[in-house]
Amino acid sequence: VGQVALMNIYSKLFGEYGYSVGQILLTRDIIECERSRNNVANTFETLLESGIIPIVNENDSVSIDEIENISRFGDNDNLAAIVSTIVDANLLIILSDIDGFYDSNPRTNKDAKLIKEVKYITEEVLNFAEGAGSNLGTGGMETKIHAAKIVTDNGTNMILANGKDPSKLIDILNGDDVGTLFLGKER
């Protein structure tokens, strides 16, 4: 019921701008199988070449749990990172409820400093992430940094920014300095 309602909303909103949407439901076992992963990559390529915006989510109804030793994606940050590597994206934008990545939790430390650029995911960055959580979603800051590691290791940049103001996305697309930029490794 929820997926149908969401897809109808996405279809209506994107349709107002002349775009069509297509739903892609993924499971970790599909991504881990090379043949299936290649099929997914081809599906993304075909949709994008046809001007169709893919709406991606985990297929919870068929995801196998840890009893069978196959893990789920766990959160949308990691799913987005994996999809970014599949489509060989130049940039992944993750929107959160804080302005970017801080050296400590800005909710509990008024002196927390926004880090504008992260070149490498180091132990220090991982330690900052443990104390700088987001209130939204299941992952918090640690999963956002894990997602950043996935994409930057693949040579993709990632921006973490506040999604409460929708105009921030336009600012990012215009090249404005918004949030925190995680730099991808040389390809």
Same domain, 134 and 58: no
State residue 62's pLDDT score. Answer: 65
Q: Give me the number of domains the chain comprises.
A: 2
| Residue at which a domain ends, from 73, 101, 131 | 73
Residue 82 located in a structural domain = no
Domain that holds residue 26: 1-73
Whether residue 56 sits in one domain with residue 145: no
Q: What's the whole-model pTM score?
A: 0.84
C-beta separation of 180 from 116 below 8 A: yes
> Within this chain, do residues 153 and 107 fall inside the same structural domain, yes or no?
yes
Given 73, 98, 122, the domain boundary residue is 73
Are 41 and 109 found together in one domain? no
Q: Both 55 and 12 in a single domain? A: yes
Looking at 21, 45, 73, the residue that finishes a domain is 73
Identify the pLDDT of residue 137: 46
First-last CA distance in the chain: 42
The CATH number linked to 161 is 3.40.1160.10
Does one domain contain both 170 and 94?
yes
Task: Please tell me whether residues 1 and 47 are part of one structural domain.
Answer: yes
Residue with tokens 């991504």: 31
Q: What share of the chain is helix, strand, coil (3-state, %, to 5)?
A: 40, 20, 40
Instruction: State the Cα–Cα distance between residues 97 and 133, nearest whole angstrom.
Output: 10
pLDDT at 52: 96
Rounded CA-CA distance 98/27 in Å is 29
Residue 59 pLDDT: 79
Report the chain (187 residues): mean pLDDT per 10 consecutive residues.
Answer: 86 93 91 93 96 89 54 78 95 94 89 95 85 54 93 97 91 95 94
Note whether residue 95 is domain-resident: yes
d(CA 42, CA 139): 29
